[in-house]
Amino acid sequence: MMINFEKKGEWLVMSIPPVWEGLTPEQLFQEVWKAPKKQTHFIRMNKEMLINGKSDLWTHNLTKGDCIRLKLFQEEDFGVTPSYMDVDILFEDELMLVVNKPPGIDTHPNSPGQTNTIANGIAFYLQANGEHCPVKHIHRLDRDTSGVILFAKNSFAGAILDRMLQERNIKRTYTAIVHGIMQKKKGKIDAPIGRDRHHPTRRRVSPNGQKAVTRFEVTETNKKNNTTIVRCQLDTGRTHQIRVHFSHIGHPLVGDLLYGGKPSYHRQALHAAKLEFVHPFTLEKLSISAPHPW
């Protein structure tokens, strides 16, 4: 089942589908979207949610076909400086977009004045299309990792997507080339990750670190180059997680000099290949892929 919505000025307009029938708007916000209480309170107090044109029906049961309006599209600052670059858009609607990040570029500015990140490029793209909304990344990729990144176009959608990621309802699939021929064809690496006291950016497996779980499956082996291509899925999203975990089991990523890889590839051989999740407003099952660079 898929629900259609449309943007009308500052408002998102949609009809209540059968699956939400019988819920109150309160339940829709709290139990279905799991929106933050502070945002829900703000929307309620400022009458930015209307059911059939009325703002006082928060505890009334919804019926199929009721018209819900949410004021989500006020003009806001991008949060970053728009800067032209060629942005590869894989999916877009009024609430979110997914881009294919090239390697060698940061996800977002790490210092004041930095303008050469994918977030700056998205801000320019939105500005050129007449949209003025915050550029909010839902997750990030390392500078030298390529592939899919999800961005929200407003704080309400961003908060819902953040919660979905936190609850593992956004499935992320990566591919990596690692050194050595892996004997185990499928499994999981469950090893906590913490900071390395001896290096400003490196992480390491540490008993006092945060829980980190990586599931993997071998997709191809190359005996000539002594490498293995693995497909990975993250149960957690720790900094450098895949890189640390494969280095820990003796199979560092090709090109990953920070974690013991050899410079036989021009960067760490890691690619965010696919995102899968159910769109929180349309209920469409989305599967968005970025083509492999190798």
- For 89-167, give the CATH class: alpha beta
Catalytic residue check, 106: no
Q: Read off the pTM.
A: 0.92
Integer Cα distance of 49 and 52 in angstroms: 10
Q: Residues 84-100: what's their mean pLDDT?
A: 97
**Strands, E, within 72-135: which ranges?**
89-92, 96-101
Percent of the chain residues topping a pLDDT of 90: 96
- Tell me: pLDDT of 179 over 70: yes
Q: Residues 265-293: what's their mean pLDDT?
A: 96
Percent of the chain residues topping a pLDDT of 70: 100
pLDDT-based confidence at residue 2 (cuts at 50, 70, 90): confident
Integer Cα distance of 216 and 214 in angstroms: 6
Regarding predicted confidence, which is higher, 293 or 29?
Answer: 29
Domain boundaries, the chain: 5-71, 89-167, 172-272
**CA angle at 187 for the pair 185 and 189, rounded to the nearest 5°:** 130
Name the average pLDDT for the chain. 95
Find out whether 222 and 254 touch, Cβ atoms under 8 Å: no
DSSP track, 200-263 = SS-EEE-TTSB--EEEEEEEEEETTTTEEEEEEEESS--TTHHHHHHHHTT-PBTT-GGGT--S
Interval 66-82: pLDDT, tens = 999 999 999 999 999 99
Integer Cα distance of 219 and 208 in angstroms: 32
State residue 285 phi and psi, 5-degree precision: -80, 115
Burial (CB count <10 Å: 0-12, 13-18, 19+), residue 211: exposed
Question: CA-based Rg of the chain, rounded to a whole angstrom?
Answer: 21
pLDDT-based confidence at residue 294 (cuts at 50, 70, 90): confident
For residue 3, the model assigns a pLDDT of 87
For residue 180, the model assigns a pLDDT of 98
For residue 237, the model assigns a pLDDT of 87
CATH number for the domain whose boundaries are 5-71: 3.10.290.10
For residue 1, the model assigns a pLDDT of 67
Q: Exactly one of 66, 106, 142, 144 is catalytic; which is it? A: 142
Check if 89-167 and 172-272 are the same fold: yes
Interval 133-155: pLDDT, tens = 999 999 999 999 999 999 999 99
CATH number for the domain whose boundaries are 172-272: 3.30.2350.10
Interval 4-38: pLDDT, tens = 899 999 999 999 999 999 999 999 999 999 999 99
112 DSSP 8-state letter: T
- Tell me: pLDDT of 252 over 80: yes
Q: Residues 218-243: what's their mean pLDDT?
A: 95
